[in-house]
Structure 1
Amino acid sequence: MAKNWRLILSGPADAYTNMAVDEAIFFAYCEKKAIPTLRLYTWDPPALSLGCAQDPFEELDLKKCVRANIDVVRRISGGGIIFHDQELTYSASCNKEDIQAFGSIADSFKSFCAFLLSMYRTLGLCPVFANEAVPRLSLQRPSVFCFSSCAKYDILIGGKKIGGNAQRRKKDFIFQHGSIPLEFDAKKATSFLKKDPGRIKEKVCALNEAAGREVDLGMLQGILVQSFKETFGVSLDEGELSSWEKTLALRLREEKYSLQDWNLRRHEHRLEEAYVAA
């Protein structure tokens, strides 16, 4: 019998709200106040997100971000900077058993990303993990900008990286979220960085470019949900945040994610708690 998951279709929200809701759901799951949950959402207005251990003063032109009204938010996951604009973002809160991931952190990351390969294939594309297409010595070291690096379980289409995914662990509990860009403006996305990542257009693609057509957001959501169900053998029933989660998300937004103390201060996490393939 398929295990039941909750599906939350949040729609657009600002950066602080999106990260607060993600953490509230994960915390609720860890506290046994929620079942495994897949959440889909978008970003409005566009924003930059940082990995949990990044230093924004070293890596971002913060004054330019302020002038352009671009919010900067720190994630609870690791990895590099992502510019969130025309994209679909997913987040999932579960445990190892829910996705049958009993190996290393890297193994669980590969297991989790399998549904993305299925989704892209349904769209008629030919995605591969980077380690299947790129010689080991050619895999790039982590970069401050997520999309400019390429690790073994990043997803490539036509030799270019698409999206980025990051994970946070708490014992056997897993939180993973990822970006699926429909469009990617390399010039705008990198204009807020202090250092030019270089040749980004040669390394990165977005979904519309890869598909050679404009992919409808609603259709993409439907394909993602179906791919997730088939990959993990689960059912997904659409639901809403509980009142407990809503209260916690509001508190996290106001007392954490909208504050400079969280967003602009460098945070250290142990490797097993924050893992990223980008």
Structure 2
Amino acid sequence: MHGEYKVPGGKLVVVDLDTEGGVLRRVRVAGDFFLEPDDALGAIDAALEGAPADTDAAGLTARIDAALPAGTTMLGLTTEGVAVAVRRALAQATEWRDYDWQLIHEAPQPPALHMALDEVITAEVATGRRPPTLRVWEWAAPAVIIGSFQSLRNEVDPEGAERHGITVVRRVSGGGAMFVEPGNTITYSLSVPEALVKGLSFADSYAYLDDWVLGALGDMGINAWYQPLNDIATDVGKIAGAAQKRVVEGQGAVLHHVTMAYDIDAEKMTDVLRIGREKLSDKGTRSAKKRVDPLRRQTGLPRETVIDRMIESFGSRYGLTAGRVSAGELARAEELVRTKFSRPEWLARVP
């Protein structure tokens, strides 16, 4: 069995192993990390040898920690990362390059249709009728998108939304409210087979699916990192938030979508969103306007250039071919808009 895991902000860890009688055998850890002393690698292999195959990541981490020589130094490697790679090997997880990735980047769409397209496309990936897909959104109207479990009245000021012509929609994933305007926001979705994130905890899957965009931002001169549970941050502020939804039909799939602030009208945002004091204090900030630092200021690049470079970075890593929303997918999404995403019952399901 073979498992790989790129430690967030670090290096690739590769594990090859067998199982016999319900325990790990012939474990070999490798990768492009740095490790001192040399015999620490053998200690890691030995610590994993004979471990019960159903040991969780925390248990495997504890075994490795207990076996490491005194003074061991790891760069680009963590014991938790080794444990995750083992669990991915045992789960027979797939890797990014195992798939033929498709790109969808089409004309602007209404907010409710974007919500529906996420659901339809991810369901198609789950059943194998569509390859794993990167979809870059274009917005036809400004919107507030609230999380699946958020209270509508607690998150949105209806008078502010009406005053600024803001459409309010509810998405299928959890997380917080997002304020978007055409031209000021970069939003994308990854619809991936569940096999890609096998062996990862829910939290680890966020970092794993965000890693490529951190590299793309780095290529544009932005030192960005994953900030648990679902933010992408820099040393001058948050630039993006992610959310996920698991689909259980077929072979299973994960929807991972991210909204990035390219530019932002902070006055309008705070006029529309009811951002509570507790959330601000949790982020260590005094003002909602200071919580997000837009990509426009950090890169100095046009929005279209940032998007192009992100797409190029993804394609250079994993391959990417141009695709489109099929007529059948669009028809199903439009039906979902009528029956679900534009319905007051859905928007106010948590009043």
TM-score (norm 2): 0.64
Find the counterpart in structure 2 of residue 145 from structure 1: none
Identity of aligned residues (%): 29
RCO (CA 8 Å, sep 6+): is it higher in 1 or 2?
1
For residue 275 of structure 1, what is the aligned residue in structure 2?
A: none
1:184 alignment partner AA: I
Q: Which amino acid aligns with 2:210?
A: C
The AA in structure 2 aligned to 1:155 is I
Give the conservation status (yes or no) of the 8 Å contact 1:48–1:82: yes
Deviation at 1:158, TM superposition (A): 2.0
Paired AA for residue 166 in structure 1: A
Question: Match of 2:319, SS?
Answer: strand
Give yes or no for the alignment of 1:26 onto 2:103: no
Secondary structure in 2 matching 1:163: strand
Note if 1:218 corresponds to 2:301.
no
Compare CA radii of gyration and give the structure with the larger one. 2
Are residues 69 and 30 of structure 1, via their aligned partners in 2, closer, same or farther at CA, if it must alter by over 3 Å?
same
Residue type at the aligned position of 2:346: W
Q: Which residue of 1 aligns with 2:191?
A: 93
**CA distance in structure 2 between the partners assigned to 1:67 and 1:199 by the alignment:** 22
- The correspondence for 1:117, drawn from 214, 220, 228, is 214
Counterpart residue type for residue 190 of structure 2: A
Contact conserved, 1:50 with 1:72, CA < 8 A, in 2?
Answer: yes
Q: What is aligned with 2:240?
A: 163
Indicate the larger mover: 61-70 or 251-260.
61-70
RMSD: 2.0
Q: 1:2 Cα deviation (Å)?
A: 5.4
Aligned equivalents of 1:115, 1:206: Cα separation in 2? 19
In 1, Cα distance between equivalents of 2:200 and 2:275: 36
Alignment of 1:35-74 (within 5 A): 35-74=131-170
Report Cα offsets for 1:110-157 as digits up to 9, x if no partner.
100101111110111111233xxxxxxxxxxxxxxxxxxxx4552211
- Asked whether the 8 Å contact 1:79–1:166 carries over to 2, the reply is yes
Gaps of 5+ in 1: 131-150, 268-278
- Matched residues, number: 242
Give, in whole Å, the separation in 2 of the partners of 1:201 and 1:60: 16
Deviant stretches of 4+, over 6 Å: none
Query: Does residue 1:182 correspond to 2:182, yes or no?
Result: no
Q: 1:103 aligns with which of 200, 206, 209?
A: 200
AA aligned to 2:244 is: Q
Structure-2 change in CA distance of 1:88 and 1:194 (3 Å): closer
* 8 Å contact from structure 1 (residues 52, 76) kept in 2: yes
2:231 aligned partner, one-letter code: D
1:241 aligned residue: 325
Q: Distance in 1 between matches of 2:226 and 2:128?
A: 33
What is the CA-CA distance between 1:193 and the residue it aligns to?
2.6
**CA–CA separation in structure 1 for the residues paired with 2:290 and 2:165:** 28
Q: Secondary structure at the match of 2:339?
A: helix
1:97 to partner: Cα distance: 3.2
TM-score by length of 1: 0.80
Q: Find out whether 1:261 has 2:345 as its counterpart.
A: yes
Which consecutive residues of structure 2, in runs of 5 or more, have no partner in the other structure? Answer: 1-96, 281-285
